[in-house]
Structure 1
């Protein structure tokens, strides 16, 4: 009986508790339940709602809410105050990972929702189509798919923000039904197609933003119908120009931002009646002509950005736009003097990249006491390159010339250990940013130019131009960065002329790698070097495969001809601008290093430089006089050889200079794919569609003449699938040109040892096939060709790969005929340290077995993926070959294998290649196999000796003695021979054997005789 009474009591208590849950609530029970369902669908783990006060006490996926998160529920109560209904829900910045809740339909009085800055996925539920919503904000989420057509059924909508999601496809024309819309934000999605014609019906729009999309077609003329518009943004929308000529009906515009549109050149659009404009941005819109006078008279105008157009004319001497604080006119053709009228206290003015009169140090714009930010970098049309680039300088002489630069962008000066050397990276972190910043570090001859003000950040203190993030797992170099809203240019003057390799260090510091809205940002910008676009739509996070990860990018063979280097990072309107907060966009770079391709890092005094110039000029005159006679004789020999010895091969052509200029776009620097020691290499296309590579040898260099004659003489009559094909040559005026077939996959060196982005995924079967192909090419040269030839410089750089990764031996500039009646040739040594056979390196004793030795070294590189001259596992070993010999003694051949291949190869195949390589690199030339034997061994038709013949310990020691002696010789003479480019600089196409390579030995003038 007692038990039964207790059970009844328990039932009553539970019922009372349930009633108590709602007894204090003015919000109906069904709406309270719906709210719990809604937050659960959105992925909230914690939820507590106080119905009596209509307040959220707890929500989110963590007990402690994220920084900057917001939540709010608004209710409206009936007249007697007893019942209240939910009319607004805002849950922002909580990183909720769920979906948009269909259960919203259970809140019949709901009018506004704000789920911005979460991690929601999926699409907009169809259930919402029946609701009477007035405001939907889904800013910064992961919503995807097409924007649903049924969204057009919510005709009560006045505010719709879908910005910074992943919506794709065309915008449905049904959105034109939303005639009550005042705000429509579609920026930073992947939308395509034209803007629907039905948008012309949206006459109540006051704010439209469609930045960063992939729309097609032109900017529609019906935007003139939106007469209520106060804000219009079209940055990199994908729409093409021209801008509608007459925008005057848009009299209520306060903010007009249009940028980065393609299309025909156009005049300045008519904006005369937009008297209330506060912000006017027409950047990169292909606008020509002059800036209308009425622009300078707009009373409310605070920002004017007309950068990167084709504007001409002068800035007026009188400007009545009294509130103008930001003026960006960079990248135009404006001329005349810089008037005082534009130099207002506290303003930011960017006049860079124009044709203004040069501003000397005495000019008002150059006075240091001016309270404004003024960027005049490259603002002058001065013919003097340095003077035109750097206004306000008093002295343009270079007391020193440098050939390297290391900058820690946005950080402090720091020493970084690279290749066992501590490198000083100079910092610029203590330099304040600014909307128009021009900074020069006089004592080191470098500086930067920064352009732009971050949109809508309401920060005018210039504090957001550098970023930093303490990270313990990566180098200090990556923990800081400099950034800019539009353009950031680093420059280096008083730089020695020559070719340089530029290394960029990046790390995305503003986005996070977690599952949160902070991870949804996209930073996209372009990179220019020497005014040439080298990377379009560059994305640090995508390249590095994540944020907060270090990324290194390199570009080599950058030509400096006017002692001036310029590197520009440019934002072309793409990417998000509001993740994790406003202003998180624009180019960002952590560090830059510039290193000469031919000399070690140093600074050269001016006096020494002048002396070198005088001696060089006198020496050149003497050499030119001598070569004038020698070349004429050589030229006759070439013509005689051409007539007599190429009759059999009609495929070899004598090209005209005009043909080659047409094929290479007049040797356009954009077509330059490499640089040899005696001239550059260009890619081109003949009139019949044949792609070619053109080696341009200097007729003013004896070595260039020798290479030209030797290359033609050796390779012209050689036809083999594994030899690069010479299409012909050109001798015209002072031009010596060799025309080759174009090789799509560059050199084997680049494929194996290049930067991570340049390396190719060469699997084991491909490497074996490449090895056999090289062996066949050499066998042909040594044994099958009509002329028996010793190449003398077999290495990975001189093996090119076609589109199918077939190897072709190139660069016959050092090749010699192997005279069969002689057992060997005694010649002056030429080639590359690490690949030269000991008998040749020490005594100049040359036979075809020297090539066999080089092939053996190259085979080890193929197996290991390591460069023989750069690999030293410990101080005990001289090089890769030395280590391989050690592994041979222990029988551990597999340790030599490239780590990238260890899961996919057969050990017996690795053993075969390594044994062949060791056989080929025998210290005794007489014990090395012939190349035809090597081919048979690799193809399994001939057995490799189980016990590779060993020479005496004396001759075996010579193998490494030769390397050490030559290395010492190179170091002793490096300063005078200027051979300091590393042999593994594998970022350029078609490296020449005559390139200035630190491990190369050059022949003297006797080589040509």
Structure 2
């Protein structure tokens, strides 16, 4: 919902590049290297980037912006000098747009898979395009559509804006090149242009008195209409107002939880991951973390099935507590305890983090992770559970810097009679045990290996991987 006057009727972004004026149109700069950004002070658009490259680059890596090596021969070529790249899901939000019908034009040029010397020109980039959460183009291949690398293709779509919000998502569904050429899979976009399909009232149109009268009349009619549909129970979130979740012995409606996240506002985002976005929810007497699963992640719940219910029984001081959940239609929520200090990754490697870890604290964190893994492997009420993705970003710290293992989205119940049951590797490459990466039998030892690498990072204060452009990634660096 727009907190300012909804008076925007167009949007032009040079994704991944600086500001440019092209044929009288100003394309706003978009050169942040963060995985989440809100355009300030205008607050007219934002983006979020989910996922990771198989080089395990950090979220603020320069890999998220790619530069052209051979320019495009078109009049608006500056738009294609840079492009924004994202490993998994790249979303752009247009805020405070006037309601109505628009044309959304997406500008593409394959400027990454271009080099014949390193065979990257053979790379194939495939992703899906969603507008307003509706699939508009499946298995889109830039190079195939443009007929060659460095050529330009523009894809235009009609979109209806309601409640002043436009959402554009480019989603990589695992297709195309992954290992060869390495690292740079995922959606790539050069620019975005949103223009209205309606006449825009400009100065010299209706008088202020007429406009005020129309607005007041419309507001009054809307209030009366809303009162009627509320009375009749026609409003779409009626179920959210009557369905409750239990959080530490207190009941809240799902509507209250949604409002506590400011209706899933980008300003409340505290984390992103493979399966969705995590929001901070400030309820009247407690704060929780709410993970909203993306619509593309719904199949994950279906695949895990009864194993999800086994994970909800986990209760341990070093496991992030799952409080409750909600799943209906297009809204799938998982609610967890809120961890004030964020991830261990941020505390160790983010120069902007205010968290300082002295040696006693680091030792306590190591003990906490070990106890959490021992609980998963040996002491929990269910069968043995293998986490499969132990890394600093999945270790969260509470207000007292106690460590808790989180993100059990890849965890599986371990079957000793069939250790090959879940051989498909899905963890983060640089923390992955060799036998797991080679698709051999899975045991709890894959977690122990990952924990060992995390221990080295905690002790040294350095990341274990180093990536240089046009060079191989170095793992397990000497510290």
The aligned residue for residue 858 of structure 1 is: 454
List gaps (5 residues or longer) in structure 2.
Answer: 47-57, 62-81, 91-105, 111-123, 140-245
Of the three residues 348, 357, 360, the one matched with 1:765 is 360
- Measured against aligned partners, the alpha-carbon deviations of 1:731-765 in whole angstroms (never above 9, x if no partner) come to 233211000111111100011111x2225211111
Aligned CA distance change for structure 1 residues 840 and 678 (closer, same or farther; 3 Å): closer
Please, which of 591, 614, 617 is the counterpart of residue 136 of structure 2?
617
The question of whether the paired residues in 1 share the 8 Å contact of 2:431 and 2:453 is answered with yes
Mapped contact 1:654–1:729 kept (Cα < 8 A)? no
Unaligned runs of 5+ in 1: 1-331, 334-354, 356-380, 387-400, 408-439, 448-490, 505-526, 534-553, 558-592, 621-648, 884-895, 897-1009
Alpha-carbon separation, structure 2, partners of 1:768 and 1:808: 14
Determine the C-alpha separation between the residues in 2 that align with 1:503 and 1:697.
21
Question: Which of residues 790, 794, 798 in structure 1 aligns to 2:390?
Answer: 794
In the aligned structure 2, how far is the partner of 1:599 from the partner of 1:650? Answer: 31
**Distance (whole Å) between structure 2 residues aligned to residue 665 and residue 502 of structure 1:** 17
Residue in 1 that maps onto 2:256: 659
Secondary structure in structure 2 of the residue aligned to 1:766: helix
C-alpha separation between the residues in 1 aligned to 2:42 and 2:293?
Answer: 25
What corresponds to 1:679 in structure 2?
Answer: 276
1:25-424 equivalences under 5 Å are: 381=7, 383-386=9-12, 403-406=15-18
Cα separation, 1, equivalents of 2:472 and 2:331? 49
Contact 2:377 / 2:386 at 8 angstroms: preserved in 1? yes
| Aligned-pair CA distance for 1:530 | 2.8
Shift of 1:672: 1.9
Q: Which residue of 2 aligns with 1:604?
A: 108
Deviations 1:853-877 (A, max 9, x none): 00000000101111122379xx999
In 2, Cα distance between equivalents of 1:610 and 1:783: 42
Measure, in 2, the Cα distance between the counterparts of 1:555 and 1:833. 15
Preserved contact between residue 698 and residue 705 of structure 1 (Cα < 8 Å): no
* Distance change in 2, residues 1:672/1:650 (3 Å): closer
Which residue number in structure 2 is paired with residue 129 of structure 1? none
Q: Which has the larger radius of gyration?
A: 1
Give the 3 Å change call, closer, same or farther, for CA 594–613 of structure 1 in structure 2.
closer
Q: Which residue of 1 aligns with 2:195?
A: none
Shift of 1:705: 3.0
User: Is the Cα contact below 8 Å between 1:501 and 1:556 reproduced in 2?
Assistant: no
SS at match of 1:723: coil
The yes-or-no answer on 1:742 pairing with 2:341 is no
1:609 deviates by 12
CA distance in 1, matches of 2:23, 2:282: 46
Equivalent pairs counted in the alignment come to 305
2:379 maps to what in 1?
A: 784
Task: Name the SS for the 1:861 alignment partner.
Answer: helix
Distance 1:824 1:693 in 2: 34
**Any residues of structure 2 matched to 1:778-857 within 5 Å, and which?**
778-787=373-382, 788-822=384-418, 825-857=421-453
**Residue 794 to residue 654, structure 1, CA distance change in 2 (3 Å):** farther
Deviations 1:691-729 (CA, angstroms, capped at 9, x unpaired): 100000134444443588578434310111110011100
SS at match of 2:313: coil
Q: State the alpha-carbon separation in 2 of the partners of residues 745 and 405 from structure 1.
A: 33
1:695 is matched with 291
Separation in structure 1 between the aligned mates of residue 379 and residue 89 of structure 2, nearest angstrom:
43
Per-residue Cα deviation, 1:753-801 (whole angstroms, up to 9, x for no partner) = 11x2225211111111101100000011001112210000000000000
Secondary structure of 1:767's counterpart equals: helix
SS in 2 for 1:492: strand
Tell me the equivalent position of 2:266: 669
Contact 1:502/1:595, CA 8 A, preserved across alignment: no
3-state DSSP of counterpart to 2:136: helix
How far apart in 2 are the matches of 1:611 and 1:801?
35
CA distance in 1, matches of 2:107, 2:258: 37
Q: Shift of residue 444 of structure 1?
A: 12
Alpha-carbon contact 2:315-2:321 (below 8 Å) kept: yes
Alpha-carbon separation, structure 2, partners of 1:736 and 1:597: 24
Residues 38 and 45, structure 2, Cα contact 8 Å, conserved in 1: no
TM-superposed deviation, 1:845: 1.8
Task: Look up the SS of the partner of 2:341 in the other structure.
Answer: coil
Change (3 A) 1:729 1:530: same
Instruction: Indicate if the aligned counterparts of 1:657 and 1:732 stay in contact, CA closer than 8 A.
Output: no
CA drift of 1:612 comes to: 5.8
Aligned with 1:753 (options 335, 343, 349): 349
8 Å Cα contact 1:711/1:811 also seen in 2: no
Deviation by residue 1:798-819 (Cα, 9 ceiling, x = unmatched): 0000111101100001001112
Once the two structures are TM-superposed, the CA of residue 665 in structure 1 deviates from its matched residue by 2.6
- State whether residues 292 and 331 of structure 2, in contact with CA within 8 Å, keep that contact through their aligned partners in structure 1: yes
| SS of alignment partner, residue 758 of structure 1 | coil
Give the structure 2 partner of residue 717 of structure 1. Answer: 313
Q: Is the 8 A contact 1:773 1:806 kept in 2?
A: yes
Q: 1:441 aligns with which of 13, 21, 33?
A: 21
Instruction: Work out whether residues 697 and 708 of structure 1, in 8 Å CA contact, stay in contact via their aligned partners in 2.
Output: no
1:605, distance to aligned residue in structure 2 (A): 3.9
Do the aligned residues in 2 keep the contact of 1:711 with 1:813 (CA within 8 Å)?
no
Q: Are the counterparts in 1 of residues 16 and 84 from structure 2 also a CA contact under 8 Å?
A: yes
State how far apart, in whole Å, the 1-side matches of 2:420 and 2:273 are. 30
Q: Flag the 1:611–1:826 CA change in 2: closer, same or farther, 3 A.
A: closer
**Structure with the greater relative contact order (CA < 8 A, sep ≥ 6): 1 or 2?**
2
2:87 is aligned with 1:492: no
Q: Which residue of 2 aligns with 1:528?
A: 41
